[in-house]
Amino acid sequence: MAYRKTEQIEARLADKRALILAAARMMVSEGGWSEAQISHVASSAGVAIGSVYRYFPSKADLFVEVLSTVSQREVDVLQAIANSADAPSQNLHVAVSTFVERAMRNRRLAYALIAEPCEKELDEARLVYRRAISQQIMRIVRAGQERGDFRTDIDPSIAATVIVGGFMESLIGPLSPLNADFDISGQHDLDAVHGLASQIADVCCATVLPPQKITPITLANRRQR
């Protein structure tokens, strides 16, 4: 008779896997990919090094899982914005500014996910989620074109690629561990982050707005994220 794991054992295994992932994510948040050595992760999670390899055959597999988990959360946030019944111009501004502000809340982690040099497997995972993010931006662009709010002489997939490339490239400097301009420890820093997010969003929106509609978009009543 084949051995079948009980529900209790399955739950315990899932909990241990979640602990390892949480520990790895914390390590990356504190020092990037180089900080998340398997021995450090195991110690933080309270498990043996062999237990880490039981769930993740290699360090690259563990890193990809961390990237995938965090990135999917960002895709879900953008999808919810794209599903909104608000005007596409507002949705686009909210999508970009939301992405920027969320990234700035955990700069070290976001920098690792977006820009830090990494192994091939991580780079490939980055591309998967960058495409997923572009898909949500493309939905907003297409909706704006259908309403006549956005330029129709631009392929929505190209527009989305340019917009996503623009706001991710714009984040590299602010997210860099060498940049001391954004500490996010006080209201002044929060205001600076809001300003950064709004300006990046304004520029991204200008990519698809007809010339006569290119004005700063005020989102004083922006929905809470």
Residue 26 tokens read as: 């914390």
Q: What is the pTM of this model?
A: 0.85
Output the CA–CA distances (angstroms, integers) from residue 47 to 15, 60, 205, in the order listed. Answer: 12, 19, 47
Tell me the pLDDT tens digit for each residue of 145-197: 999 999 999 999 999 999 999 999 999 999 998 877 766 555 558 889 999 99
Tell me the pLDDT tens digit for each residue of 31-50: 999 888 999 999 999 999 99
Structural fold of domain 1-57? Arc Repressor Mutant, subunit A (1.10.10)
Tell me the pLDDT tens digit for each residue of 107-121: 999 999 999 998 899
The CATH superfamily assigned to 59-213 is: Tetracycline Repressor, domain 2 (1.10.357.10)
CA dihedral for 132, 162, 205, 104, sign (positive or negative): positive
**For residues 138 and 160, is the Cβ–Cβ distance under 8 A?**
yes
Residue 209 to residue 199: CA distance in whole angstroms: 15
CATH topology identical between 1-57 and 59-213: no
**For residues 35 and 79, is the Cβ–Cβ distance under 8 A?**
no
Q: Show me where the domains of the chain are located.
A: 1-57, 59-213
Residue 36 to residue 23: CA distance in whole angstroms: 9
Residue 99 tokens read as: 């992405």
Instruction: Transcribe 12-78 into DSSP letters.
Output: HHHHHHHHHHHHHHHHHHHH-GGG--HHHHHHHHTS-HHHHHHH-SSHHHHHHHHHHHHHHHHHHHH
Angle in degrees, CA 20, 185, 21, rounded to 5? 5
DSSP 3-state assignment of 158?
helix
